[in-house]
Structure 1
Amino acid sequence: MLYGAMKVGIGGPLRLAFRPWVEGLENIPAEGPAILASNHLSFSDSFFLPAVLDRKVTFIAKAEYFTTPGIKGRMTAAFFKGVGQLPVDRSGTRGAGEAAIKSGIEVLERGELFGIYPEGTRSPDGRLYRGKPGGLARVTLATGAPVIPVAMIDTEKIQPPGKVVPKLMRPGIRIGKPLDFRRYQGMEQDRFILRAVTDEVMYEIMKLSGQEYVDMYATAAKRQIAEAAKAEKQAQKEAQKEAGKADREDKAHEKRETEPEKERSGP
């Protein structure tokens, strides 16, 4: 009941304000379990996709959204529960992965839709990054549920980093045909199979989204971008320091040049 109320309260206004366009809705089964594997461009992805679907879709969210104390914390927790998100403790990488897999399997065993972002985090620059082979592949092989590739289009342009007020524009959602990986069931421990399943899904997402593909993990790309920004900031600081030093040296030189002139023009 809470999900239905939140869907009406959030999904309706979202559709009215942003008018997202959708292709491939017929690929979402009317009933039964399925995994929606999407690219991840924006925090809003987990809201726009459920807003255009008739069925409930459950995503994974970090546990901090559900455990923050105070009135604001309780409101945040109620909001995320209402939009169908499950808390997962991400304090330990391996533990977080296992918890996400377990949660996904439970959702699918109830015959519901499970949403997952194979990249593991939002794209730092709008490109599509390598999918992580643990979660998506293991969940589909453990349950036999089909994987439906999804491409979010332009959602990162609605509220870029640093912008408080969202831009009113039409994002898009393309939903691909279901992928069946039941031929690999029982092979969840084979890392080459996990990699092959993940890469096949990412290839379909790439075709749907039209994004440039980068064969590295988004988390690694974020580290590189952060390190580059840090290095640039340090270089600017050093340049300013050198410029200040040069300016002081120029002023000292001018002072030395003018002192003899004063002596010559004295009484």
Structure 2
Amino acid sequence: MNAAVVVYIFKRVPRLLVSLLVWLVVRLVYRPRVDGLENIPDNGPVLLAANHVTYVDAFILAATLARPVRFVMYYKFGKLPIVGTLLRWARVIPIAGRSENPEILRTAMDEIAEALDNGEAVCIFPEGSLTEDGEVRVFRKGIEHIVARTPVAVVPIGLSGLWGSLFSRARTRLRDVTLGKLSSRVGISVGAPIPVGHVSADHVREQVATLRGALA
């Protein structure tokens, strides 16, 4: 076994094991019901837009969707021990608000454009933060800027059944979680692609809100 093979194994095996572990946890704990996966193209650039209910939404989607996805997440998560390593392995794109760190925002927009130009799937949470009451918050205009720069269809995704679970803002502490809320029956409803000419923050939000109710 030469050095190149050893390096490859040490790089790939941990990622594969983590991916398998995430898949198992999601399947056992969240038991996702999925509808509309056929609306996500098997290849080519696409922008996915989902509502944001818990800190683990990206992991749930990553374990459920049929193709690899680049997720856009708040940059400070990448600074957490262990979590940061996992996010780098997953090629997560770190982002910040314009008022907090405009340089990180610019870099994120560049990375999103590059990923789409390379034919990848990118997922954003246009609310910009977790819901505080279980409802879908106002979508920020960043989604419009992304599509204006790189014209691609937007696939809306509605997440349901997560509000009140451990990693939502309804349950911020483990001691507040009842046994029934340690697991959830999560609904993931994927809508038809929205053509470039019909993409607006408000319209995408309406579609996501409708989808969220479809499997509630």
Question: Normalised by the size of structure 2, how large is the TM-score?
Answer: 0.79
**Equivalent of 1:207 in 195, 205, 210:** 210
Per-residue CA deviations over 1:117-151 (Å, capped at 9, x if unaligned) read 11111111011121111x21111222121100000
CA spacing shift, 1:150–1:7, aligned 2, 3 Å: same
Kindly indicate whether the alpha-carbon contact (under 8 Å) linking 1:33 and 1:111 is maintained by their aligned counterparts in 2.
yes
Superposed displacement of residue 96, structure 1: 4.2
Matched, 1:82 2:97: no
Per-residue CA deviations over 1:13-66 (Å, capped at 9, x if unaligned) read 311332110010111111011111011111121111111112111112233333
- The aligned counterpart of 2:163 is 156
**Equivalent of 1:178 in 185, 193, 197:** 193
Kindly indicate whether the alpha-carbon contact (under 8 Å) linking 1:6 and 1:82 is maintained by their aligned counterparts in 2.
no
Kindly indicate whether the alpha-carbon contact (under 8 Å) linking 1:7 and 1:83 is maintained by their aligned counterparts in 2.
no
Work out which structure has the larger RCO, using CA pairs closer than 8 Å and 6 or more positions apart in sequence.
2
**Equivalent of 1:9 in 6, 21, 28:** 21
- The aligned counterpart of 2:118 is 110
Unaligned ranges ≥5, structure 1 = 185-195, 212-267
Superposed displacement of residue 89, structure 1: 5.0
Q: Report percent identity of matched pairs.
A: 27
CA spacing shift, 1:3–1:156, aligned 2, 3 Å: farther
Equivalent residues, number: 193
Code of the residue aligned with 1:64 in structure 2: it is K
The whole-number CA distance in structure 2 between the counterparts of 1:132 and 1:96 is 17
| Corresponding residue SS for 2:115 | helix
- The aligned counterpart of 1:121 is 129
Kindly indicate whether the alpha-carbon contact (under 8 Å) linking 1:88 and 1:100 is maintained by their aligned counterparts in 2.
yes
Matches within 5 A, 1:57-76: 57-67=69-79, 73=81, 75-76=82-83
Runs of 4+ in 1 over 6 A off after TM superposition: none
Greater C-alpha radius of gyration: 1
Superposed displacement of residue 105, structure 1: 0.9
Kindly indicate whether the alpha-carbon contact (under 8 Å) linking 1:3 and 1:81 is maintained by their aligned counterparts in 2.
no
CA RMSD of aligned residues (A): 2.3
Matches within 5 A, 1:183-198: 183=197, 197-198=200-201
- The aligned counterpart of 1:189 is none
**Equivalent of 2:154 in 133, 147, 155:** 147
Code of the residue aligned with 2:160 in structure 1: it is I
Code of the residue aligned with 2:156 in structure 1: it is P
Kindly indicate whether the alpha-carbon contact (under 8 Å) linking 1:61 and 1:86 is maintained by their aligned counterparts in 2.
yes
Code of the residue aligned with 1:147 in structure 2: it is V
Superposed displacement of residue 67, structure 1: 3.6
| Corresponding residue SS for 1:179 | coil
- The aligned counterpart of 1:53 is 65
- The aligned counterpart of 1:239 is none
The whole-number CA distance in structure 2 between the counterparts of 1:4 and 1:54 is 16
